[in-house]
Amino acid sequence: MSYKDKIFTFWGAMDLLAIGSYLFYSLKMGHVPIWSDIQLFYAQLALMEVRGADRIFLQSLFFIHSGLLLSLCFSAYAFLAKKKIRFLLIGLQEVMRILSLTCSVALFPLLLQVMRIDNVFVGLFLFILSETLKVGSLLWLRRRELLT
């Protein structure tokens, strides 16, 4: 197994874990994934009586996160099937991850939850580490001309 295959398998597995944990926790709470999120988001927005630019900002963050969840399906498939992945897709996904503070290493948030660690600095450190690992590994592949 080449380095590219190992890296692709790891990131594909992390994307699958992120999708799986989202679905698990959503269904565990009795929600319909995505649809319930939209309903609950707008209900909370109405309760908070958010208006104007703040409302637009919060809606943008919500839809960025929703777009990220949908894009994870495509990237998980591409990584695990060893398909050609455009660096543009990865770049857009990284921007969405940063804006929504979503770790690429899906194990980190799960470990924090299991270990009951709620320190913001630990979470932020793991988030930065996670994104550095993903971007670094994919840039390494790109420099080796294994990624377009």
| Alpha carbon distance, N-terminus to C-terminus of the chain | 20
- So what's the pLDDT on residue 146? 66
- So what's the pLDDT on residue 148? 64
- So what's the pLDDT on residue 50? 86
Count Cβ atoms within 10 A of the Cβ of residue 28 and give its class: 0-12 exposed, 13-18 middle, 19 or more buried: exposed
Cα separation of 140 and 57, whole Å?
34
Q: For the chain (length 148 residues), average pLDDT per consecutive 10? A: 89 96 95 93 91 92 94 93 84 94 94 94 96 93 77
- With 0.75 as the threshold, say if the pTM is over it: yes
Please report the sign of the dihedral spanned by the C-alpha atoms of residue 136, residue 140, residue 146, residue 147. Answer: positive
- So what's the pLDDT on residue 4? 86
- So what's the pLDDT on residue 85? 79
Cα separation of 98 and 109, whole Å?
15
Domain coordinates in residue numbering, the chain: 3-143
